[in-house]
Amino acid sequence: MSQKVLLNSKEVNIILHRLACQLIENHNDFTQTAIIGLQPRGTYLAERLITILKTEYKIKNINAGHLDITFYRDDFRRSDKPLEANTTDINFIVEDKKVVFVDDVLYTGRSIRAALTAIQSFGRPKEIELLTLIDRRFSRHLPIQPDYRG
């Protein structure tokens, strides 16, 4: 099977800078905002965004974390092999904060539904937004749309 490159490194970097600017427009200094990458691949994207925000735009204190949704998915019992969970690393209270979920691809919406359930264990966010690098919008199973898309 041949592989098709959708975005090269330079294009991804340009997109991440644009997304960082959009986040700044809506969240200003990030004092009431948390950026949470969804395990596994959303965490890498979130870390790159946070690095851009801190180094290039001088945003100092950003609440950041990683959320594992493995056992919150509605299809986790369908696998024949044992699931390997990732770590959840949220060392702040999300109560009354604006939370930005970061994931690599939005496809059916099931991962985001699982993340919405999982985040409730850490408090009740004031608002939840979704940032995704790729939006495969023609295959939704749930009515979920990104607020920021690459």
116 backbone φψ class: left, alpha, beta (φ>0; ψ -120 to 50)? alpha
Cβ–Cβ under 8 Å, residues 28 and 64: no
pLDDT of residue 86: 84
What is the spatial distance between Cα 2 and Cα 24, in angstroms, rounded to a whole number? 38
By three-state DSSP, how is residue 61 classified? coil
Buried b (16+ CB within 10 A) or exposed e, 42-71: bbebbebbbebbbeeeebeebbbbbbbbee
Q: Which domains does the chain have, with CATH numbers?
A: 9-149 (3.40.50.2020)
pLDDT of residue 85: 78
pLDDT of residue 77: 59
- Looking at the chain, how many residues does it have? 150
Tokens 């986040």 map to which residue? 23
Cβ–Cβ under 8 Å, residues 109 and 143: yes
Cβ–Cβ under 8 Å, residues 88 and 120: no
Cβ–Cβ under 8 Å, residues 104 and 42: yes
Q: pLDDT tens digits, the chain, 150 residues: what are they?
A: 678 888 899 999 999 999 999 999 999 999 999 999 999 899 999 999 999 999 999 999 999 999 999 888 776 556 666 667 788 999 999 999 999 999 999 999 999 999 999 999 999 999 999 999 999 988 889 999 999 999
pLDDT of residue 75: 65
pTM of the model: 0.92
pLDDT of residue 73: 74
Identify the CA nearest to 94 among candidates 53, 64, 130.
Answer: 64
